Structure 1
């Protein structure tokens, strides 16, 4: 859901980690060197690292990241684990946490004092067999970013409540001369489907995706109706197959340039859009029916994990780093620099006014949903990537929504 920008090459990052491994626990200056592998850029993390090093002058953070979006990070993380080059502290995606624990590379954080600051929802996502293995300090939700000036051309001042009303608005925007009323990136197609599934799941004892994961249902039985609704974007002519070739940054650039009226986004884009000088806001993601409780894709964010294989001063430094990240100072820096929303017991975030509506609708209520959390722990990342791949084929007109969901069932069988 959240893309990465201006990242260094994976080869450079691997070389950096390799050199760290050779250095041992201390640098020539006598400081403890702590390697940190994250799924965002160094320019965004550097103010956080600088503040930590100022408070801990005996510790030096060696940062690395990788190319691509979240899926690219996860692949590189697995490669580093296999090659014995895992950093001392790293971001642990919830989809991979079970495998990280099985591989013995995630330290048990359950009884660490800083974990007392972490909310139950975030802890639950980081828990395997009753123990907490990562420290998730923020939460995310998708929302629709919209250009107020472009919407005004069609007589709208906010996002409609229902999907059909939203489609009608996009048609009106096109009729009013807005060339690009709505776009989704290729790695985020079907952006609001999870919200629909989340609401329908909230009325059942077990989520729809948990039913699929447990074998009580299938993608074909459960997802087809949602994919058919999403495909109205193409039959109505308000989004074209060109989205199958658009990366996150390309869609974001179109919006920042003032050419795109609506896009799926999140709090992490607030600064970018403000810097672009846009007259914008973030609004709801329309539900299928009038009166449906608003839900959106979202969850606790990936947590920070400590490599279970480190010890001594390195381990002490790693624990100090997580303690800082979950402190009030650290959380404010995370919000200000990474554009993430803290969700802990010890800090109340100041939310930018452009994001008030989705924050109140989704994060304050807890009405967020992430489909992968219901799927079997092995292969979650691959299956999520497959959902986007199948929707790309729907967008191209190569397959129907029903064929897409049947293909997801086939993929799921290969992962079990």
Structure 2
């Protein structure tokens, strides 16, 4: 059928109006290997609901530290994205510097917005001076990943529940010819596993604004790491190498965030994968740090349409519908109640490997930021210290603790 000139003109007019009304926002997030598939899954529903909003994805951050460093640089150069995804322990510095905007004006205009829809531990970490500056997107906890085929070959019949049992399992597997029995995620972002060992003892790494690296619990954590690394003869792999090696069926046990579960499931070889609770230091952990990230509004646009579009995107990805894709495509747990209680009602029953982290939710504790503007530098000092344990350069944990305390003290606001 031929189209009339009038109909063509009308179509072109409508297209022009649509193009004129389209608002483009920019979004940046970390860990492409984890989240690319998540945002791809979300986008069709978002576009159907909001056809006039175009979301431009920026280059992904390598990790949370890279995300924070990038945002700090972009704030100076005036090139901030409209929405950024940041680690829970990296929000405070962006709020203090006025980079992350308060969401209270947007929340106040929402007639059906429920703050109670988000996990309390997550939402509290995005609230500063009584105002919400971020909406939680995902929550993770440390878990054990087990290659049941390698464990069976190595003579292990039951999953370990303590680090002593992990070390004993490594020794048994080594004796039975397993070359690489274990990887322990010391190099995960934000010194997360150090905090996991301290929270296992019910001790925070920061209390009342003061670092607790000089505490007996910190020394016990360093000693526990040394025992794990040496007892299991652990290889010094980067986190990317470790995930790839485990997925390829080359490592028997891996202790890492539940966040990587979806990626491991999609890429793993032909072996039986089982997850288990994070082992404890002689007994079950008393607490574990809440990993994960939150969406922050960092737009510098003065155009109300851009600001509203940024809020619409931010709200959608943390909503029940958006957050449900987090659980389906990764190993993270969505902190939104609508996602967990309605959309995902039967999901965890059908996905027991993802249920492991959910069962540990009563242990949830804060993932703590280090005081002052040098938080990233403190993270690096601790990272370097732990790596010295891994490679065998540091053998006296009391001496290492003293060195770390001295170096970190120089970076703290009060010296």
Task: Confirm or deny a common fold (TM above 0.5).
Answer: yes
Partner of 2:126: 126
- CA offsets 1:148-179 (integer angstroms, 9 cap, x no match): 11111243344222221221111001111111
Alignment of 1:256-405 (within 5 A): 256-275=247-266, 276=268, 277-290=270-283, 292-293=284-285, 295-296=287-288, 298-299=289-290, 301-307=292-298, 309-311=300-302, 312-348=304-340, 349=344, 350-351=347-348, 352-360=351-359, 362-363=360-361, 365=362, 367-369=363-365, 372-373=368-369, 375-399=370-394, 400-405=396-401
Partner of 2:50: 56
Partner of 2:94: 100
Structure 2 residue matching 1:180: 3-state secondary structure: coil
Once residues 396 and 254 of structure 1 are traced to their aligned partners in structure 2, the CA distance between those partners, rounded to angstroms, is: 19
2:200 aligned with 1:199: yes
Once residues 164 and 333 of structure 1 are traced to their aligned partners in structure 2, the CA distance between those partners, rounded to angstroms, is: 37
Structure 2 residue matching 1:161: 3-state secondary structure: coil
Once residues 264 and 299 of structure 2 are traced to their aligned partners in structure 1, the CA distance between those partners, rounded to angstroms, is: 40
Once residues 262 and 161 of structure 1 are traced to their aligned partners in structure 2, the CA distance between those partners, rounded to angstroms, is: 13
Structure with bigger gyration radius: 2
- CA offsets 1:28-71 (integer angstroms, 9 cap, x no match): 65410011111132732233233212210111001113352222
Once residues 141 and 147 of structure 2 are traced to their aligned partners in structure 1, the CA distance between those partners, rounded to angstroms, is: 19
Structure 2 residue matching 1:183: 3-state secondary structure: strand
2:48 aligned with 1:84: no
Once residues 201 and 217 of structure 2 are traced to their aligned partners in structure 1, the CA distance between those partners, rounded to angstroms, is: 10
2:174 aligned with 1:138: no
Structure 2 residue matching 1:105: 3-state secondary structure: coil
Partner of 1:411: 407
**Normalization by structure 1: what TM-score?**
0.82
Say what the alpha-carbon RMSD is for the aligned residues: 2.7
Once residues 402 and 229 of structure 1 are traced to their aligned partners in structure 2, the CA distance between those partners, rounded to angstroms, is: 12
Among candidates 60, 67, 74, match of residue 66 of structure 1: 60
Alignment of 1:198-277 (within 5 A): 198-201=199-202, 207-211=203-207, 213-214=209-210, 217-219=212-214, 221-236=216-231, 238-240=232-234, 242-243=235-236, 246-275=237-266, 276=268, 277=270
Report if aligned partners of 1:95, 1:381 keep a CA contact under 8 Å in 2. Answer: no
Report if aligned partners of 2:258, 2:357 keep a CA contact under 8 Å in 1. Answer: no
Once residues 167 and 272 of structure 1 are traced to their aligned partners in structure 2, the CA distance between those partners, rounded to angstroms, is: 27
Count of residue pairs brought into register by the alignment: 375
Query: Residues 118 and 260 of structure 1: is their aligned pair in 2 closer, same or farther, counting only changes over 3 Å?
Result: same
Structure 1 residue matching 2:140: 3-state secondary structure: strand
